């Protein structure tokens, strides 16, 4: 790296984002959580028949009892008994059918929404997810999607069912006695108003409830994890006070929400009671028989069966709306990297780059800057020359932008200014996949998947054969380990299989980078958590010059090997790299231009105190 030149023209013009949250992505159709799918409509109709059967059961039972008291011919009663029984049997049968249909539809929708949510999340990773842990983001998205899809079963289906059954009841009562039909219509309107009120109450309190719950979790975790320190500094009473406050807030919000829900449920019952009373008064003067009067008076009571699930439905609706809002806010973020417009995504996954990719993998940046949020420069103008096949260490204090530099090189974050050329071409104007296919990234937390060693490596190199995998493992210093594994590459790793030590995990990450066959490997403190001797051994294995795949280094082609660019905080082992590039902050807190020196030069000063030009390129 060198002192920045005055002003260099940009090859790609990337506007400086103003601030997060960025503008919404392309117009994603906003959907209403309750909007029914075909399967949900079918479920709702079946539910409507089940609910109507239940209502008919109550009403015809009333008719039957009163008619029986008049001692009619037994055949009349037998016919009525059969009808009552038919309604009694129809209700559970249709309810079961409704559950099968609506849950089928909901599960299909859940699978579809999860797939599209994951697809939308991928371009946002890692830049737009901030410092949140990926697993937390994923858990939150999965929970919110479950709530949203739940709305189909818990909101849409009961509402359709109630509407269908209510419509049938209103129509029939209007035919039998118009005034009672109008009472039922009035009851329907009142139920709609109470439902609207219930949703409003629930929606207003829900964010508070979630915040209060999150607060209780946060404070509990903090107190539990820091209990020894809190005791040591005499802060235990204060900590208990925090817990009391958090629980007190949760208690208050929960009580308020419960009061709202209870009020809505009571209002439904009051409305039904009023409808029964009015119907009873009206029925007295109707020119119909006593059994029919009983049937009419019992109808509003039967309707309460359809209304009761609405309290739960309104609660689920408010919850699903909040969840949908959170999902939209996340998935509508503008990705931090722009792909070439119209570039088709290759669904076949990572491919092994050929020899020519090794020859043309020089990295060159000029006045490269980047910002995660648009609010400030997280990488100040940086000039960097990394000839293909060289091994570079990047050092510097915390927060000086080392990881940000790697993120730009890996195209996880677009530069906000300057140029980044890869193999002589302007990288930001190349298709994303093309650039990423040439770069492997290893960070300080190599994840071990709960599958075989082969499966763990195949993620990075799906077309690598056993020989390539074993050679990658040996190059990463895992040769001795593999020899002790009973099933070799077929040994299961992860929590259910053989555990790996910190050093072995770091080496597995490096083996993945080797097996990917990608010409450039970016490593972000891969040995941060290892003891010094192990860390040194891992770095020694990493920096041992590796040949491009298929070449015979020294005797075959003169293609360069893998380019290694590694962020590290360790001073020891600098001689293992061709160069150490230092970045530093100015005392004011803004970053200074990056500097570098050639470690091979015995007169070189410490990296972060020089502004020497880069050594000539090979």
Ligand X SMILES: Nc1ncnc2c1ncn2[C@@H]1O[C@H](COP(=O)(O)OP(=O)(O)OP(=O)(O)O)[C@@H](O)[C@H]1O
For ligand X, the closer CB: 367 or 584: 584
Residue closer to ligand X, measured from CB, 130 or 196: 130
- Compute the least distance from the CB of residue 207 to ligand X, in Å: 25
Shortest Å distance, C-beta 100 to ligand X:
45
Give bridge partners of residue 308 from the DSSP assignment: none
Q: Between residues 400 and 435, which has the closer beta carbon with respect to ligand X?
A: 400
Binding site for ligand X (CB under 6 A): 126-127, 130-131, 372-373, 378, 396, 398-404
Report, in Å, the least distance between residue 440 CB and ligand X.
18
Token reading at 558: 């003169």
Give the pairing of strands 595-597 and 579-582.
antiparallel
In sign, the C-alpha dihedral spanning 458, 459, 463, 468 is negative
Instruction: Supply the DSSP string of 293-358, one letter for each residue.
Output: HHHHHHHHHHHHHHHTHHHHHHHHHHHHHHHHHHHHHHHTSPPSSPPPTTPPP-TT------HHHH
Residue with Cβ nearer ligand X (404 or 563)? 404
Q: Which is nearer to ligand X, 126 or 300 (CB)?
A: 126
**C-beta of 130: minimal distance to ligand X in Å?**
5
d(CA 509, CA 514): 9
Instruction: Find the radius of gyration of the CA atoms of the chain.
Output: 34
Nearer to ligand X, 216 or 406 (CB): 406
CB of 577 to ligand X, least distance (A): 17
Residue with Cβ nearer ligand X (324 or 443): 443
Shortest Cβ distance from residue 533 to ligand X (Å)? Answer: 22
- Which residues pair with residue 582 across a beta bridge? 395, 595
Whose Cβ is closer to ligand X: residue 545's or residue 585's?
585
Residues 6+ apart with CB under 8 A from 336: 124, 127, 128, 372, 412, 413, 414
Least distance between ligand X and beta carbon 509 (Å): 17
Residue closer to ligand X, measured from CB, 315 or 402: 402
Q: 33 vs 596, which CB is nearer to ligand X?
A: 596
Q: Which letter does DSSP use for residue 451 in this model? A: S
Residue 402 or 597: the one with the smaller Cβ distance to ligand X is 402
DSSP SS3 for 420: strand
Q: With CA atoms as reference, report the closest residue to 122 among 340, 343, 330.
A: 330
Measured from the CB of residue 451, what is the shortest distance to ligand X in angstroms?
Answer: 28
Instruction: Please say which residue, 149 or 522, places its beta carbon nearer to ligand X.
Output: 522
Q: Is 192:75 a contact under the CB 8 Å cutoff?
A: no
Residue 396 CB, nearest distance to ligand X (Å)? Answer: 6
Work out how close the CB of 513 gets to ligand X at its nearest, in angstroms, rounded to a whole number: 19
Q: How far is the CB of 402 from ligand X (least distance, A)?
A: 4
The Cβ of residue 484 has, within 10 Å, a number of other Cβ atoms equal to 9
Asked whether the beta carbons of 460 and 414 are under 8 A apart, the reply is no
d(CA 550, CA 447): 28
Unique residue bearing structure tokens 């997810």: 129
The full 3-state SS of 164-181, as one line of letters, equals HHHHHHHHHHHHHCHHHH
Q: In the bound complex, what is the minimum distance in angstroms from residue 118's beta carbon to ligand X?
A: 19
Q: Measured from the CB of residue 399, what is the shortest distance to ligand X in angstroms?
A: 4
Structural tokens at position 149: 């899809």
Q: Which of 9, 134, 16 is nearest to 379 (CA)?
A: 16
**595, 582 Cβ separation under 8 angstroms:** yes
381 vs 592: CA distance, rounded Å: 8
Burial code (b: 16+ CB inside 10 Å, e: under 16) for 270-285 equals ebbeebbebbeebbee
The 8-class DSSP code of residue 491 comes to: -
Cα–Cα separations (whole angstroms), residue 201 to 266, 302, 317:
15, 27, 12
CB closer to ligand X out of 58 and 404: 404
């Amino acid at each position: 790296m060198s002192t920045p030149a005055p002003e260099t023209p940009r090859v790609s013009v990337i506007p400086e984002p103003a601030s997060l949250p960025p503008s919404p992505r392309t117009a994603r159709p906003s959907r209403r959580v309750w909007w029914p799918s075909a399967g949900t409509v079918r479920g709702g109709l079946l539910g409507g028949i089940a609910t109507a059967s239940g209502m008919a059961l109550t009403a015809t039972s009333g008719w039957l009892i009163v008619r029986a008291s008049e001692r009619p011919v037994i055949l009349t009663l037998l016919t009525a008994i059969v009808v009552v029984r038919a309604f009694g049997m129809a209700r559970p049968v249709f309810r079961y059918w409704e559950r099968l249909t609506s849950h089928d539809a909901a599960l299909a929708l859940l699978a579809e929404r999860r797939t599209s949510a994951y697809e939308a999340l991928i371009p946002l990773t890692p830049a737009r997810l901030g410092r949140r842990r990926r697993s937390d983001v994923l858990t939150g998205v999965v929970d919110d999607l479950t709530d949203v899809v739940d709305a189909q079963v818990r909101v849409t289906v009961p509402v359709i069912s109630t509407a269908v059954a209510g419509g049938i009841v209103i129509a029939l009562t209007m035919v039998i006695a118009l005034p009672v039909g109008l009472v039922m219509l009035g009851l329907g309107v009142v139920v709609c108003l109470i439902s609207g009120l219930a949703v409003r109450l629930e929606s207003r309190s829900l964010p508070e409830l979630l915040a209060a719950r999150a607060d209780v979790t946060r404070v509990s975790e903090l107190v539990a994890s820091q209990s020894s320190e809190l005791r040591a500094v005499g802060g235990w009473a204060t900590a208990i006070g925090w817990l009391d406050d958090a629980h007190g807030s949760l208690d208050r919000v929960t009580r308020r929400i419960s009061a709202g829900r209870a009020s809505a449920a009571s209002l439904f019952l009051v409305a039904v009671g009023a409808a029964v009373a009015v119907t009873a008064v009206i029925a007295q003067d109707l020119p119909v028989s006593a059994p029919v009067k009983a049937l009419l008076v019992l109808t509003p009571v039967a309707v309460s069966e359809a209304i009761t699930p609405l309290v739960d439905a309104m609660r689920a609706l408010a919850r699903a709306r909040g969840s949908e809002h959170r999902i939209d806010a996340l998935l509508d973020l503008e990705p931090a990297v722009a792909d070439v417009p119209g570039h088709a995504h290759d669904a076949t996954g990572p491919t092994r780059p050929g020899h020519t990719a090794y020859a043309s993998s020089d990295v060159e940046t000029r006045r490269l800057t980047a910002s995660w949020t648009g609010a400030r420069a997280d990488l100040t103008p940086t000039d960097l020359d990394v000839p293909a096949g060289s091994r570079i260490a990047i050092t510097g204090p915390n927060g000086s932008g080392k990881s940000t530099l790697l993120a730009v090189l890996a195209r996880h974050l677009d530069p906000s200014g300057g140029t980044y050329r890869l193999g002589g071409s302007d990288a930001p104007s190349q298709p994303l996949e093309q650039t990423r296919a040439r770069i492997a990234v290893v960070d300080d937390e190599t994840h071990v998947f709960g599958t075989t060693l082969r499966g763990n490596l195949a993620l990075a190199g799906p077309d690598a054969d056993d020989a390539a995998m074993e050679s990658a493992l040996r190059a990463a210093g895992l040769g001795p380990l593999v020899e002790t594994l009973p099933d070799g590459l077929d040994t299961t790793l992860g929590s259910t299989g053989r555990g790996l030590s910190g050093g072995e995990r770091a080496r597995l990450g490096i083996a993945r980078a080797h097996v990917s066959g990608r010409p450039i490997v970016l490593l972000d403190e891969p040995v941060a958590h290892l003891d010094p001797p192990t860390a040194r051994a891992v770095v020694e294995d990493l920096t041992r010059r590796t040949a491009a795949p298929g070449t015979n280094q020294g005797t075959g082609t003169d293609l360069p090997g893998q380019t290694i660019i590694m962020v590290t905080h360790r001073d020891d082992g600098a001689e293992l790299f061709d160069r150490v590039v230092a970045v530093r902050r100015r005392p004011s807190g803004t970053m200074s231009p990056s500097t570098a020196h050639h470690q091979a030069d015995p007169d070189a000063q410490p990296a972060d105190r020089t502004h020497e030009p880069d050594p000539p390129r090979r």
